[in-house]
Amino acid sequence: MLADAGCEVTVWGRSAEVVRQIADQHRNDVYLPGIDLPESVTATTDARAAVADARIVAVAVPSQVARDTLAPLRGALRDDAVVVSLMKGVELGTDRRMSEVVAQTLDLPDERVAVVSGPNLAREIARHQPTATVVASASPQTAALVARAVASSYFRPYTNPDVVGVELCGAVKNVIALAVGISQGRGLGYNTMATVITRGLVEITRLGLALGAQPETFPGLAGMGDLMATCASPDSRNHTLGGHIGRGMALDEAIAATGGTAEAVKTCRPVLELARRLGIEMPITEAVVRVLYEGLPVDQLAPMLLARPRRSEVVTG
C-alpha cells in the first residue's frame, strides 16, 4: 500500500530466502502466493539498515515478539521518524497495548506513534480490492502524515484521535472471531454467528470505555467494520483457527493447520486479565480462554454464553 501510494519501501524480514524473493522477483510466495509486489519494494535482513533513513516505520510482527524485535532498534531511527503499529494484540505479562510497547521500547513520545486498524484482510488488499481503514494517533499531524502515505485508489484512510479505542478493537475482535470460528466448526449457523458478533462488540465497547476510549469508535471501521470482516472471512486466521478447534483439533494442531499468526491465541488471556482487573464482564473472551487453556469442551461454549442471567440488552457496564 505504501508503494502504491508513491513511497519508497524497504521490507525487513528474518528469512533470507523470503527477502531475496521480494528484492529480486518482487514476490512473496510464502505469505502472498500469486501476488506481484510493486517494483519499488525492496527487502533486507538488516533491520537497522531498513529503518536508518525511514520517515515512517511500519511494525507488522506478532504482538508477543514485538518488544524483543524492536529493542535492537532503539536509537537507530531518524529524529523525525514516525512508527506505525499494524499489530493486533495485548502484551502478555504487562497487558500493554502495542502502541505502548512501541513507545516504551523505542523511547518515543506518543506523538510519534500511530496505529492502523480496520477491515483490512491482507489478501484482499494485495489484490487491490477497495477498503478503508483508521489511522489513530495522539498527534493529528502524525495521523495525517500516515494517512497521506497509504492513501490510494483502493485504500481510503480515515484519521481518529482515539488510539485506545482503535487499538482495543483491533486486538479483541480477533478473540471474538475465534469464538465465531469455534461455533461454526461445531456446525452452528448464522444466528449464532450474529449473536456472538453483536455481543462481542458489546464486550469490546465495555473494555474500551473503561480505559477511556471514545464511544464513536466502536460502531465505526475499526470496531464493527473490522469485527465483521474478521468474523466472516475464510482469509481470517483467527476465524480459521477457531474452526479447526471447533472440529475437534487440539490447540497445537489447530495452530499448525492454520499457518501464520492467529493473534487471539496469545491475546485472549491478557485481555481477560485486563478486564478482570477493571471489573469488566467479557463472557465470550472468558469462554475462549477456557476452551483454549482450561479444558472447556467446545460443545459447552455456546450454551455457556446463553446460560448467563437474563437482563435488558440496553443495560450498560
- Does residue 221 lie within any of the structural domains? yes
Residues 134 and 225 in one domain: no
How far is it, in rounded angstroms, from Cα 229 to Cα 133? 12
The mean pLDDT of 105-131, rounded to a whole number, is 96
How confident is the model at residue 317, as a pLDDT? 46
Residues 7 and 155 in one domain: yes
CA angle 81, 173, 290 (to 5 degrees): 125
- Does residue 10 lie within any of the structural domains? yes
Question: Nearest CA to 291 among 232, 250, 256, 253?
Answer: 250
pLDDT in tens, 203-249: 999 999 999 999 999 999 999 999 999 999 988 999 999 999 999 99
Residues 11 and 155 in one domain: yes
pLDDT in tens, 120-153: 999 999 999 999 999 999 999 999 999 999 999 9
> Which residues make up each annotated binding site for NAD(+)?
122, 237
Residues 151 and 169 in one domain: no
How far is it, in rounded angstroms, from Cα 133 to Cα 147? 9
Instruction: Name 28's Cβ contacts closer than 8 Å, sequence gap at least 6.
Output: 18, 21, 22, 35, 37
Q: Which CATH number is 264's domain given?
A: 1.10.1040.10
**Count of domains in the chain?**
2
Place 308 in a pLDDT band, splitting at 50, 70 and 90.
low
Place 31 in a pLDDT band, splitting at 50, 70 and 90.
confident
pLDDT in tens, 33-85: 999 999 999 999 999 999 999 999 999 999 999 999 999 999 999 999 999 99
Q: Is 173 a catalytic site residue?
A: yes
> Which residues make up each annotated binding site for substrate?
88, 237-238
How confident is the model at residue 234, as a pLDDT? 86
Does position 307 have pLDDT exceeding 80, yes or no? no
Place 14 in a pLDDT band, splitting at 50, 70 and 90.
very high
Residues 140 and 195 in one domain: no
In terms of residue numbers, what domain contains 220?
Answer: 165-307
SS (H, E, C) the chain: CCCCCCCCEEEECCCHHHHHHHHHHCEECCCEEEEECCCCEEEECCHHHHHCCCCEEEECCCHHHHHHHHHHHCCCCCCCCEEEECCCCECCCCCCEHHHHHHHHHCCCHHHEEEEECCCCHHHHHCCCCEEEEEEECCHHHHHHHHHHHCCCCEEEEEECCHHHHHHHHHHHHHHHHHHHHHHHCCCCHHHHHHHHHHHHHHHHHHHHHCCCCHHHCCCHHHHHHHHHHHHCCCCHHHHHHHHHHCCCCHHHHHHHHCCCCCHHHHHHHHHHHHHHHCCCCHHHHHHHHHHHCCCCHHHHHHHHHCCCCCCCCCCC
Residues 185 and 303 in one domain: yes
> Which residues make up each annotated binding site for sn-glycerol 3-phosphate?
88, 118, 173, 226, 236-238
- Does residue 128 lie within any of the structural domains? yes
Residues 201 and 68 in one domain: no
Residues 109 and 169 in one domain: no
* Domain-terminating residue out of 127, 146, 161: 161
How confident is the model at residue 270, as a pLDDT? 93
Catalytic residue among 96, 97, 112, 173: 173
How confident is the model at residue 267, as a pLDDT? 93
Place 313 in a pLDDT band, splitting at 50, 70 and 90.
confident
- Does residue 257 lie within any of the structural domains? yes
- Does residue 312 lie within any of the structural domains? no
pLDDT in tens, 147-185: 999 999 999 999 999 999 999 999 999 999 999 999 999
* Domain-terminating residue out of 131, 161, 191: 161
Beta bridge partners of 316: none
Q: Which CATH number is 151's domain given?
A: 3.40.50.720
How confident is the model at residue 221, as a pLDDT? 97
Residue 24 class from Cβ within 10 Å (0-12 exposed, 13-18 middle, 19+ buried)? Answer: exposed
How confident is the model at residue 315, as a pLDDT? 55
pTM for the full predicted model: 0.92
How confident is the model at residue 213, as a pLDDT? 98
How confident is the model at residue 275, as a pLDDT? 96
**Position 223: which residue type?**
G
- Does residue 58 lie within any of the structural domains? yes
Place 260 in a pLDDT band, splitting at 50, 70 and 90.
confident
Residues 185 and 259 in one domain: yes
Residues 151 and 170 in one domain: no
How far is it, in rounded angstroms, from Cα 229 to Cα 129? 13
> Which residues make up each annotated binding site?
14, 31, 88, 118, 122, 173, 226, 236-238, 263
- Does residue 314 lie within any of the structural domains? no
Cell match 480515515: residue? Answer: 158
Residue 266 in grid coordinates: 496469545
The mean pLDDT of 96-101, rounded to a whole number, is 96
* Domain-terminating residue out of 161, 179, 206: 161
Residues 138 and 171 in one domain: no
- Does residue 45 lie within any of the structural domains? yes
Residues 169 and 36 in one domain: no
pLDDT in tens, 262-281: 889 999 999 999 999 999 99
How confident is the model at residue 179, as a pLDDT? 95
